[in-house]
């Protein structure tokens, strides 16, 4: 009799655990309004165009990097990286969207050496 009770107790515990896992999983929702893009090839979410490197008078340092970003969702945050393993510049200015295009300005208070710019990786996030 105790053996049947033990089996019943284990079966009941399995049913309770399965039900709570289902309840937790069904409570997780992901919105389709969030756009994020990162990479060195075509990435869904945003397109970067019209990249301009603004140089100092000596043409050896970059004072700002400007570009346009186009996406189905307006970008709230844009960051850039100018070297593959370099730091991310997190204080870029994101302009208001005109149609679906936003002007981005990443200004450097202390210019960076043009020779150190070996990549342009762009991180964009919107829909927050």
CB atoms within 10 A of CB 95: 15
Residue with tokens 């019209």: 50
pTM over 0.75: no
Burial class (CB in 10 A: 0-12, 13-18, 19+), 92: buried
pLDDT digit of tens for each residue in the chain (128 aa)?
A: 555 655 655 555 555 555 544 444 444 444 444 444 445 545 567 899 999 999 999 999 999 999 999 988 899 999 999 998 899 999 999 999 898 899 999 999 999 999 999 999 999 988 76
The pLDDT assigned to 32 comes to: 47
pLDDT of residue 88: 94
The residues near 40 (Cβ < 8 Å, ≥ 6 apart) are 119, 121
pLDDT at position 64 is: 95
């Amino acid at each position: 009799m105790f053996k049947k009770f033990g089996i019943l107790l284990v079966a009941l515990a399995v049913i309770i655990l399965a039900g709570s896992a289902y309840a937790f999983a069904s409570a997780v929702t992901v919105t389709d309004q969030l756009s994020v893009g990162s990479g060195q090839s075509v990435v869904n979410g945003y397109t970067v165009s019209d990249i301009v490197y603004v140089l100092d008078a000596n043409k050896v340092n970059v004072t700002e990097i400007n570009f346009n970003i186009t996406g189905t969702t307006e970008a709230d945050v844009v960051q850039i990286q100018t070297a593959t393993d370099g730091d991310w510049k997190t204080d870029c200015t994101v302009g208001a969207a005109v149609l679906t295009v936003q002007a981005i300005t990443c200004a450097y208070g202390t210019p960076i050496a043009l020779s150190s710019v070996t990549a342009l990786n762009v991180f964009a996030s919107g829909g927050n």
